[in-house]
Structure 1
Amino acid sequence: MALAEFISTLIFVFAGEGSGMAFSKLTDGGSTTPAGLVAAALAHAFGLFVGVAVSANISGGHVNPAVTFGLFIGGNITLLRGILYWIAQLLGSTVACLLLKFATGNMVSGVLVTALFWSKLFIK
């Protein structure tokens, strides 16, 4: 069951972040424009849809450690299963990032970071 979470999270992160990197490369950094944000949102939505569809009948299709935590707090899964899912999800996202690094030839992309100012990260 944890393998399903690993694969679904890998698919979600690879599809979402990969499409953001591709859009940024194709539009010469246009990923922070309204069209880029819509493209990123759609890519993440489709990636999440596929990730949940892959694992829904096997593990519940959590895909996100926060969802797994919520289900644990709600009493729907055990602590051991939650920990196994968290490990699988974190490993899946890490492997997806490593695959993206390999597939793009170490292309570094500041997809949304370029539009973010550190001072706006904190509430004043």
Structure 2
Amino acid sequence: MAKIALGTGREATQPDCIQALIVEFICTFLFVFVGVGAAIATDKLAGDALVGLFFVSMAHALVVAVMISAGFRISGGHLNPAVTLGLCVGGHITVFRSILYWIDQCLASAAACALSST
């Protein structure tokens, strides 16, 4: 069984943690923005056609692959609070850092949705 490390508050001020949070925010923002944008554009262009579903799923697949590849070395490329939880339970990141990632991912996705809805 993996050991779960709690971490400390000082972890948030370390340069590698700040850099990881910035990269995680950017990658999550772009993932949600492109995904929602593809869904909105397909709805306007293709309507309820089955080909629209294919284009939305391809857009999601491509943006996930690119964002994970871009953020993997710095932040781990989580993009998703469920992935962060799994890595926390597996003992790969601390509980404190995973909480910071969850906040970061929720803020990034909310910002992307707010920007794409305008």
Length-normalised TM-score, structure 2? 0.79
- 1:25 is matched with 44
C-alpha separation in 2, matches of 1:57 and 1:21: 31
Following superposition, the deviation at residue 54 of structure 1 comes to 2.2
3-state SS, counterpart of residue 75 of structure 2: coil
Aligned to 2:88: 72
| Amino acid of the structure 1 residue aligned with 2:70 | V
- The match for 1:6 among 22, 25, 38 is 25
Contact (CA 8 Å) 1:12, 1:50: kept in 2 or not?
no
Candidates 37, 52, 62, aligned match of 1:46: 62
**Matched residues in 2 for 1:36 and 1:23: separation?**
5
Deviation at 1:36, TM superposition (A): 1.5
Match of 1:15 in 2: 34
Q: What 5-or-longer segments of structure 1 have no aligned partner?
A: 103-124
Q: Structure 1 CA distance, aligned partners of 2:94 and 2:84?
A: 10
SS at match of 2:40: helix
AA aligned to 1:78 is T
Q: Structure 2 CA distance, aligned partners of 1:18 and 1:7?
A: 16
1:57 and 2:73 correspond: yes
Q: Distance in 1 between matches of 2:59 and 2:109?
A: 16
When the two structures are aligned, how many residues end up with a matched partner?
99
Runs of 4+ in structure 1 over 4 Å off? none
Among candidates 102, 106, 109, match of residue 86 of structure 1 = 102
- Structure with higher RCO (Cα < 8 A, 6+ apart): 2
TM-score, with length taken from structure 1: 0.76
RMSD: 1.0
Q: Distance in 2 between matches of 1:35 and 1:84?
A: 38
How far does residue 70 in structure 1 lie from its aligned partner after superposition?
0.2
